[in-house]
């Protein structure tokens, strides 16, 4: 079993920054993808950024250039540095873990990010 604990959300003004963290514990496979998703009220959950254990990244176009995903594989932790935040970034942000050898996903509890105008 894998447990993900996300943190770092909060309330910031437009143009501000936040850094989200998510630590995974349990039966962690070396080869995996960790990612951040978000879900705003009334909208489906969407991918924000993802990063493989090998260092490959994928960003949604709207976040590219503002957000940066990074990993500390030794700590089984993924980060999301969010700069130049906009009100439309307001959402619950969820971290996600998926072993490369499996289609099964593990999800964190979600952390609220609110950006005021």
| Residue whose pair of structure tokens reads 């514990």 in the numeric block | 25
Indicate the DSSP class of residue 89.
G
Q: What are the start-end ranges of the E strands in 8-110?
A: 10-13, 18-26, 32-39, 46-52, 57-59, 67-72, 77-82, 91-99, 106-107
* Degrees to nearest 5, angle at CA 91 with 90 and 93: 125
pLDDT for 64: 74
Inform me whether the pLDDT recorded for 22 exceeds 90. yes
pLDDT tens-digit readout, 68-116? 999 998 999 999 999 999 999 999 999 999 999 888 899 999 999 999 9
Q: How does the average pLDDT of the chain come out, rounded?
A: 94
Task: Please give the average per-residue pLDDT across 50-76, as a whole number.
Answer: 91
């Amino acid at each position: 079993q894998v447990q993900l604990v996300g943190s770092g959300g909060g309330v910031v003004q437009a143009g501000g920054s936040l850094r989200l963290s998510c630590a995974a514990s349990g039966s962690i496979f070396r080869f995996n993808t960790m990612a951040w998703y978000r879900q705003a009220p009334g909208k489906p959950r969407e991918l924000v950024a993802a990063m493989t254990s090998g260092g490959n990244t994928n960003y949604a176009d709207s976040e590219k250039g503002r957000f940066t995903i990074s990993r500390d594989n030794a700590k089984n932790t993924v980060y999301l540095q969010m700069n130049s935040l906009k009100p439309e970034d307001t959402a619950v942000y969820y971290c996600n873990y998926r072993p490369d050898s499996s289609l099964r996903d593990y999800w964190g509890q979600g952390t609220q990010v609110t950006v005021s105008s």
